[in-house]
């Protein structure tokens, strides 16, 4: 049974979104909010530009290179005590997993049929290659999330800043 729920981006309200593209989150880290999942990942500069240029998942080989580079950046942010950078790198690893998984599940990565009132499309029409890319990103995403220094920084950040 497929869901009749429409994608959340249809009713997106930019004004109420806590992440803003005109803030330099390295200069003003206190304005950063952790949020859920990947929220803010495509907005928060300068991290978006620094990390995003390495984010690729077209093939398992490309996913391996990409995820390793982003995980290396994550570890460097941890060493620099830069929680915002570490959280953004973690979000890119998570997004590598979720986007590749979407392509693994749905041909062309399209989950909804915009020509048919955004009805959810049939699952299982995607690519095995993307499933492998998803698994590669997932492993490093879980390692980042489990990093004890990151977990402490995140807990402290959420208590202090939200």
pLDDT score of 1: 44
Q: Is the peptide bond before 12 cis (omega within 30 degrees of 0)?
A: no
d(CA 148, CA 125): 38
- Residue 142 CA to residue 23 CA, distance in Å, equals 28
Q: What is the pTM of this model?
A: 0.84
Nearest to 150 by CA among 91, 74, 97, 98: 74
What are the helix (H) ranges across 3-115?
A: 47-52, 60-79, 83-105
Print pLDDT tens along the chain (162 aa): 444 566 665 565 666 667 888 899 999 999 999 888 888 899 999 999 999 999 999 999 999 999 999 999 999 999 999 999 999 999 999 999 999 998 787 776 666 767 777 777 676 666 788 899 999 999 999 999 999 999 999 999 998 886
pLDDT at residue 32, as a whole number: 93
């Amino acid at each position: 049974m497929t869901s009749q729920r429409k994608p959340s981006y249809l009713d997106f309200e930019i004004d109420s979104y806590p992440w803003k593209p005109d803030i330099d989150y390295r200069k003003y880290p206190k304005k950063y909010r952790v949020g859920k999942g990947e929220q803010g990942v495509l907005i928060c500069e300068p991290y978006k530009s620094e990390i995003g240029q390495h984010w690729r998942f077209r093939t398992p080989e490309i996913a391996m290179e990409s995820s390793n580079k982003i995980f290396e950046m994550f570890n460097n942010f941890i060493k620099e005590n830069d929680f915002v950078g570490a959280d953004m790198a973690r979000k890119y690893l998570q997004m590598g997993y979720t986007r590749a998984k979407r392509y693994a599940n749905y041909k062309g990565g399209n989950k909804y049929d915009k020509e048919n009132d955004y009805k959810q499309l049939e699952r299982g029409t995607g690519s095995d290659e993307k499933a492998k890319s998803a698994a590669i990103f997932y492993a490093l995403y879980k390692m980042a999330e489990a990093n004890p220094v990151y977990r402490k920084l995140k807990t402290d950040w959420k208590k202090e800043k939200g």
